[in-house]
Structure 1
Amino acid sequence: MERLDASELAHRLARNAEAVCRHYLSAGRRQGAYWLVGDARNTPGRSMFVRLKETAKGPAGKWTDAATGEHGDLLDVIRASRGLVDFKDVADEARSFLSLPRPVLQPASANVSVCRPKAATGSADVARRLFAMSQPIERTPVETYLRQRGITALHGTGSLRFHPRCYYRPDEHSPTETWPAMIAAVTDLSGHLTGAHRTWLDPDGFNEATLGKAPIDTPRRAMGDLLGHAVRFGVAGEVLAAGEGIETMLSLRCVLPGMPMVASLSAAHLSAILFPDLLRRLYIARDNDPAGDSAVATLLDRVQSAGIEALVLSPELSDFNEDLRLLGADALRAAIRGQIAAQDVARFMELAA
């Protein structure tokens, strides 16, 4: 059976560029030698143009989004319009469109040459592509989701984006599903994107059972290089707050709006976060469970060994988002006021008064 690599799939799609556009970019229309549409996610508009036939300016199938500067080929169109992440899913979708059989995988050996995609599943490259395909959270289900969880301070949330059709697969033997999702950029201390975190959302809205997350087995997953890195809100200086969850740290920002914060995404990753060079005082936002206690203990040892002052912030309930939702912002503000250094009250909290 014929095996096709990414370049050959892209070439075959380009030979059928208009048919590809009519199928995957149905919100657009043809104008001369180009297909015009809003973006690769099939948003109505005219800022993205796909070349339908080879011209002096380049080959068929190549596209450019004039609004963002993004560009790519028709495999990228399939990936973005269908909300795919894994290259295998993109290739399978392309083969299906082209009515090509799926390849039979051969075991790797010294005599077998295996073509691999440039970006392996779950890699930082895939994470960067996913984040680039997503849109700012303003007036999207992500903004609604956060506000329904009591989070109203959404300044400095450029690390969060919305994807309307992010693919989810329960396991390798299950069919792929599509759900809206909050996409978070995981970055290193220099701001370089190393990974991404997905929170799939319930399209039917908020309820107390799921707190707005999609009703699936694992509504949160991360990809890429996470160790030591985090989702960042604000620019870290001498003072920083660090915790596990995105919603936890955004809840704290509702009462400490001026304080830079990072979400490590898990207890294990919280204990391993890297410290900015200028850091002098670290607030550790503790989750009220055994894993949270263990992460705090490990991180305290590292902070103190680095000569950095550490203060632990503890919630009344299971975490700070639960405190915000069930006890209210005023109660959370009063509790945090008593746990932070006196000089930081005026510096970071007064904006919330």
Structure 2
Amino acid sequence: MSDAAHDLARRLGRQAEAICRHYLSAGRRQGHYWQVGDVRNAPGRSMFVRLRDSAHGPAGKWTDAATGEHGDLLDVIRESQGLSSFADVLAEAQAFLRLPPISRDAEAPHGGKQCFSRDPAPSARRLFAASEPVPGTIVETYLQNRGITALHETGSLRFHPRCYYRPDPHEPIQPLPAMVAAVTDLRGRITGVHRTWLAPNGSDKAALTTPRRAMGHLLGHAVRFGGADDVMAAGEGIETILSLRTALPSLPMAAALSAAHLAVVAFPPGLRRLYIVRDTDSAGDKAQDSLIARANAATIEAIVLSPALGDFNEDLRAFGVDRVRAELRCQLAPEDVGRFMVLRP
């Protein structure tokens, strides 16, 4: 790392908690650590940022127990802000610390163009490749127990019988069965994976504090079902989207995995109508408003699909698919009713 960047990293470490509160606002302090979902500020508890110097290392160093990623506070600034240039990371850091600007010619760590923490995307691709198709596995059982019977075009989902799970950095890894979902960009390239650890018989999620975790590059990307053309739907959770697919089997859909990621999901070229599959909570409301504004700015018609309960999986399990279809019929654009409500053989 260049002298300027190394000095900046030390200065950031002295204000580690303030950095975390600003850039990792979805987390909270736990003793001498800041705990959050990941370096991109997702809610959760798998990432730990050291807030004080200790025998284990300096303040500001962090580890994500779910992905194996690690780094310092310059990484946090880069990933949480979506910065691609090392010079931009330095500029953001010095602005936070209210320091004079660092030269735009400052070197990235180790003299490279960019060299922060390990890129998790290749690990995500390897995990997905090592998993097996869903039919006949406990993933199929898990989804059916949630009322989800539409499993066509679910190549983005797989089963791994021994997917590693670590409760926190100080506990051993546990190999547990999991549903593994590929997160892809608009070209279909895998940028990350989402894991849902399951009970051994597939009856429900595993009895873990955080049975769902994601790794890789998620911003703008999604778990996709069906090929999007001029009309698609986008929502948060995989189970929510698959519940909607049970009622609207021909409509292409994307699960962004969280409200924050739903708000910034990328629009495919040629999209003219977007159905926003909302969850009925404050985070869902914010994501909906943001997505409507972005769609309008891109001259894409935005239509909100609202469940009667908390989400469409709750509706499916409580009322059945016929009731969900009847409610959706009133919310779809008239020309899409015949197009997407046709039941598959």
Which category describes the TM-score, using the shorter chain as reference length? 0.5 to 0.7
1:46-68 per-residue CA deviation (whole Å, 9 max, x = no partner) reads xxxxxxxxxxxxxxxxxxxxxxx
Question: How big is the shift at 1:179?
Answer: 1.1
Aligned 1:43-62 pairs, distance under 5 A: none
Partner AA of 1:286 in structure 2: R
Distance 1:343 1:137, change over 3 A: same
- The answer on whether the counterparts of 2:139 and 2:202 sit within 8 Å (CA) in structure 1 is no
Q: Which of 157, 180, 185 is the aligned partner of 1:183? A: 180
Q: Give 2:139's aligned residue.
A: 142
Q: Which of 217, 234, 248 is the aligned partner of 1:242? A: 234
1:314 equivalent to 2:306? Answer yes
Query: What stretches of structure 1 move > 2 A for 4+ residues in a row?
Result: 84-88, 118-122
- The answer on whether the counterparts of 1:120 and 1:126 sit within 8 Å (CA) in structure 2 is no
Residue identity over aligned pairs, in percent, reads: 62
Q: Secondary structure at the match of 1:350?
A: coil
Q: Which of 198, 202, 208 is the aligned partner of 1:201? A: 198
Question: How big is the shift at 1:199?
Answer: 0.4
Question: How big is the shift at 1:320?
Answer: 0.3
Distance in 1 between residues matched to 2:263 and 2:285, nearest whole Å: 10
1:199-225 per-residue CA deviation (whole Å, 9 max, x = no partner) reads 00011442xxxxx10000100000000
Q: What RMSD, in angstroms, separates the aligned Cα atoms of the two structures?
A: 2.1
Q: Which of 311, 321, 324 is the aligned partner of 1:329? A: 321
Q: Give 2:336's aligned residue.
A: 344
1:272 equivalent to 2:264? Answer yes
Distance in 2 between residues matched to 1:215 and 1:324, nearest whole Å: 23
Distance in 2 between residues matched to 1:272 and 1:251, nearest whole Å: 22
Distance 1:272 1:342, change over 3 A: same
Q: Secondary structure at the match of 2:142?
A: helix
Distance in 1 between residues matched to 2:183 and 2:136, nearest whole Å: 23
- The answer on whether the counterparts of 1:162 and 1:182 sit within 8 Å (CA) in structure 2 is yes
Q: Secondary structure at the match of 1:293?
A: helix
Partner AA of 2:226 in structure 1: G
TM-score by length of 1: 0.64
1:14-44 per-residue CA deviation (whole Å, 9 max, x = no partner) reads xxxxxxxxxxxxxxxxxxxxxxxxxxxxxxx
- The answer on whether the counterparts of 1:256 and 1:352 sit within 8 Å (CA) in structure 2 is no
Q: Give 1:75's aligned residue.
A: none
Q: Which of 284, 289, 299 is the aligned partner of 1:297? A: 289
- The answer on whether the counterparts of 1:127 and 1:224 sit within 8 Å (CA) in structure 2 is yes
The answer for unaligned runs of 5 or more in structure 1 is 1-83, 89-112, 207-211
Q: Give 1:165's aligned residue.
A: 162
Partner AA of 2:178 in structure 1: A
1:125-144 per-residue CA deviation (whole Å, 9 max, x = no partner) reads 10000000000001001111
Question: How big is the shift at 1:351?
Answer: 1.8
Question: How big is the shift at 1:121?
Answer: 5.7
Partner AA of 1:141 in structure 2: I
1:129-164 per-residue CA deviation (whole Å, 9 max, x = no partner) reads 000000000100111111110000000000000000
Distance in 2 between residues matched to 1:148 and 1:349, nearest whole Å: 23
- The answer on whether the counterparts of 2:67 and 2:120 sit within 8 Å (CA) in structure 1 is no
1:265-293 per-residue CA deviation (whole Å, 9 max, x = no partner) reads 00000000010111000000000111101
- The answer on whether the counterparts of 1:240 and 1:259 sit within 8 Å (CA) in structure 2 is yes
The answer for unaligned runs of 5 or more in structure 2 is 1-65, 71-109
Determine which structure has more spread, i.e. the larger CA radius of gyration.
1
Distance in 1 between residues matched to 2:283 and 2:293, nearest whole Å: 16
Question: How big is the shift at 1:237?
Answer: 0.3
Q: Secondary structure at the match of 2:241?
A: helix
Q: Which of 252, 255, 259 is the aligned partner of 2:247? A: 255
TM-score by length of 2: 0.66
Partner AA of 2:140 in structure 1: E
Matched residue count: 237
Q: Give 2:220's aligned residue.
A: 228
Distance 1:121 1:193, change over 3 A: same
Q: Secondary structure at the match of 1:241?
A: strand
Aligned 1:201-220 pairs, distance under 5 A: 201-206=198-203, 212-220=204-212
Distance in 2 between residues matched to 1:241 and 1:140, nearest whole Å: 27
- The answer on whether the counterparts of 1:283 and 1:313 sit within 8 Å (CA) in structure 2 is yes
- The answer on whether the counterparts of 1:182 and 1:198 sit within 8 Å (CA) in structure 2 is yes
